[in-house]
Amino acid sequence: MDLERLKSILREDEGLRLKKYRCSAGVWTIGYGRTGYIPDECTLEQAEKWLHVDASWACWCAGDLFPEFESLSKNRQIVLACMVYQLGFSGTSKFRNFLSALNSQAYDKAADEMLDSKWHRQTPERCERLAKMMREG
């Protein structure tokens, strides 16, 4: 897994906020999309540390969610890790048809399942870019 590339993509997708705010789902968020117990403010250094920890966690969870994770292309690994980062392990695990297609190496079908979701309606540009990465490998 290319953790530095993943973090670069997440920086772009999430943006950086050093003061907590409510995301579109109404969840308190700070840094590069960090949720949970968070302070009112943080430094760039703290946001970068959280990004590293949370991106590493997303990779680990992606591997737990999809046991053949290491056999995927780097782009497809990044797609799955980005989904876990944004949607969480639980949210990504609900993409049963997507995971089934991924398991069958039906990458076009997996991309179609990504686009046929509430997630796509909520963050269309991100989802479409990741679906393209899934198709192209």
As a whole number of angstroms, the distance between CA 46 and CA 3 comes to: 18
Backbone CA torsion sign across 4, 8, 10, 15: positive
Q: Are 32 and 19 in contact (CB under 8 A)?
A: no
| Residue 91 phi, psi (nearest 5) | -65, -45
Domains of the chain with CATH codes: 3-15+43-136 (1.10.530.40)
Whole-number pLDDT of residue 36 = 87
Give the model's pLDDT for residue 61. 96
pLDDT digits (tens, 9 = 90+) for 68-77: 999 999 999 9
Q: In this structure, what token pair is assigned to residue 124?
A: 């269309």
Interatomic CA distance for residues 61 and 64, integer angstroms = 5
Helix, strand or coil for residue 128?
helix
22-57 pLDDT tens trace:
987 788 999 999 998 899 999 999 999 999 999 999
DSSP H stretches of helix in 31-106 = 44-65, 74-93, 96-103
Structure pTM? 0.92
